[in-house]
Structure 1
Amino acid sequence: MKILKGFAAATLVGAMAMSAATLAQEKAPDGYWLTPTIANYGRVHLLPDAAFMPQPDRTYKIVFSLTQAAKTPDVVDPGLDRVARTVNLYVAAGVPLSRLNFVAVASGPATALVLDDEHYRAAYGVANPNLPLIAALKKAGVTVAVCGQAVAERHFDFAWVAPDVILALSALTTVTTLETQGYVLMPL
């Protein structure tokens, strides 16, 4: 009888482990990386016992300064993808989206990532790969803005800025204004 109980317990544990493995594979086809909130962007690896975990009962205010362009115009801007990663990390750690106050402001070489598809295609010959991510970020409550001074410096028309993006006076004033409101600067 004891052997039978031990066998049943081992079988149950094995079945539970298989279910967990199957669940992990469903969440992450490659078994390692997940995109729990911003689907297909900002891949994260869950580490539930890691140090410096975000606290679910706290509010986080971050302004991301996006200043680098992607290496080629047909790929998502890496800074914008890191904003998605940050959202995914906080949510995976148990912080509700309602406690994330995130603003991403593009300037300098990153300015073009906010162009509407028509004008991005005209400039680079490909569809703007950043627009689906900008829409997903907006849906998650992230504000994506662009420096109005950078738009002018690059000779883009203000009307060419995608509808999901806010036209700011400048990145300089956006960052400093938000910092005085308690936001932490994360340069990307």
Structure 2
Amino acid sequence: MYKVKSFVATVALAAASLSVHAGTMDAPDFWTTPTVHDYGKMHFLPNGAFKPQPGHTYKVVFSLTQGAKDPDEVSPALDHVARAVNLYVASGVPLSRLKFVAVASGSATSLALDDAHYRVQFGVPNPNLPLIELLRKDGITIAVCGQAMAEHHFEYDWIDPRVTLSLSALTTVTTLQQAGYALMPL
């Protein structure tokens, strides 16, 4: 009988703990977008390990290769760049110390298209452009692989003016790594 009561008490305690924990995750202020507003949801952990240091400069090249499942959705890879910005700034790192470059290729290539050409290709406005605008205002460079543009039969003059045309994602990543950038594949 004691083992049954102990088991029931343990299960009840675990269930109560889960419901309290789940309730906080559902709270409207649990997920925030403090810097890149409305993009890159994050939950800040003040005592989390491996927090960026405010006095350091962070150089990261993001290799964006995954596009959205639907053309009317923001690229999840681009949204993760926004999450990185939000996490670093929430940790106290000023935007001026973030040297971030995001280069799109593969199925993420279309995120770089201007609105008119994106609409022709997919029948909807380019949902990535508002995020690209916000990231650019925060000093983040958004680039697209010239080789991927050609592979997708996208003309170079279809690229949104806020996006930099690079020779290739391969050369962008390796050139920046040689300059001390860390690679973050997304």
Establish whether residue 184 from structure 1 lines up as the match of residue 182 from structure 2: yes
**1:148 paired residue among 134, 146, 149:** 146
| CA distance, structure 2, for counterparts of residue 46 and residue 169 of structure 1 | 37
| CA distance, structure 2, for counterparts of residue 44 and residue 67 of structure 1 | 21
Extract structure 1 runs of 4+ deviating beyond 6 A: none
| CA distance, structure 2, for counterparts of residue 58 and residue 37 of structure 1 | 18
* Cα displacement string for residues 61-118 of structure 1 (whole angstroms, at most 9, x for unaligned residues): 0000000110000000000000000000000000000000000000011100110000
**1:175 paired residue among 141, 149, 173:** 173
Question: Given residue 159 of structure 2, which amino acid in structure 1 is its aligned partner?
Answer: V
Establish whether residue 96 from structure 1 lines up as the match of residue 94 from structure 2: yes
**2:111 paired residue among 110, 113, 118:** 113
Question: Given residue 125 of structure 1, which amino acid in structure 2 is its aligned partner?
Answer: G
Give the superposition deviation at 1:46.
1.2
| CA distance, structure 1, for counterparts of residue 47 and residue 97 of structure 2 | 22
**1:67 paired residue among 57, 65, 68:** 65
| CA distance, structure 1, for counterparts of residue 97 and residue 80 of structure 2 | 18
| CA distance, structure 2, for counterparts of residue 33 and residue 66 of structure 1 | 23
Q: Residue 47 of structure 2 corresponds to which residue in structure 1?
A: 49
Q: Residue 22 of structure 2 corresponds to which residue in structure 1?
A: none
Q: Residue 136 of structure 1 corresponds to which residue in structure 2?
A: 134
Question: Given residue 136 of structure 2, which amino acid in structure 1 is its aligned partner?
Answer: K
Establish whether residue 122 from structure 1 lines up as the match of residue 137 from structure 2: no
| CA distance, structure 1, for counterparts of residue 35 and residue 162 of structure 2 | 18
* Cα displacement string for residues 123-147 of structure 1 (whole angstroms, at most 9, x for unaligned residues): 0000000000000000000000000
Question: Given residue 102 of structure 2, which amino acid in structure 1 is its aligned partner?
Answer: A
TM-score w.r.t. length of structure 2: 0.85
TM-score w.r.t. length of structure 1: 0.84
Structure 2 unpaired stretches of 5+? 1-26
| CA distance, structure 2, for counterparts of residue 107 and residue 31 of structure 1 | 34
Question: Given residue 120 of structure 2, which amino acid in structure 1 is its aligned partner?
Answer: A
Give the superposition deviation at 1:31.
1.9
SS at match of 1:185: strand
Question: Given residue 145 of structure 2, which amino acid in structure 1 is its aligned partner?
Answer: C
